[in-house]
Amino acid sequence: MKKVDLRTMAEKQNNEYVFGSADTGSHACYMIYGRLMPGEKGRKIKPGKGHEEMLYCARGSFSVTGDFEEIIEEGSAIHLSGEQACYLENRDSSEAVYVIAGGHAEHGHH
């Protein structure tokens, strides 16, 4: 087990870092930490076949377009599955931060 500074890692990788198998050795789940600067738009969120993701707005707000269209404010979340895709835009004058919890979709239980 180790501590990972997600903010610093994201700063080194275009403001998004996937905390996943390279860090944990497991392919069961992952977490994405992302930052959008003021006025930044077009950040694509798409789980992909066999995956599900929950997108949480941790700071600021996002205008979301695509398969889901709405303003997501701090403290709110949406769920995406498979090939569903959306695009984030930060219309605010300060940085916005999101966290995505993702994993493999399994049908038939829970």
Q: Which domain holds residue 9?
A: 1-16+31-70+84-94+102-106
Label each residue of the chain as H, E or C. CCCCCHHHHHHHCCCEEEECHHHHCCCCEEEEEEEECCCCEEEEECCCCCEEEEEEEEECEEEEEECCCEEEECCCEEEEECCCCEEEECCCCCCEEEEEEEEECCCCCC
Identify whether 79 is part of a domain.
no
Identify whether 59 is part of a domain.
yes
What confidence tens digit (pLDDT) does each residue in 4-41 have?
Answer: 999 999 999 999 999 988 888 888 899 999 999 999 99
Domain count across the chain? 1
Identify whether 66 is part of a domain.
yes
Strand 96-104 versus strand 51-59 pairing type: antiparallel
What confidence tens digit (pLDDT) does each residue in 100-110 have?
Answer: 999 988 764 44
What confidence tens digit (pLDDT) does each residue in 75-105 have?
Answer: 999 999 999 999 999 999 999 999 999 998 8
Average pLDDT over residues 57-63: 97
Identify whether 21 is part of a domain.
no
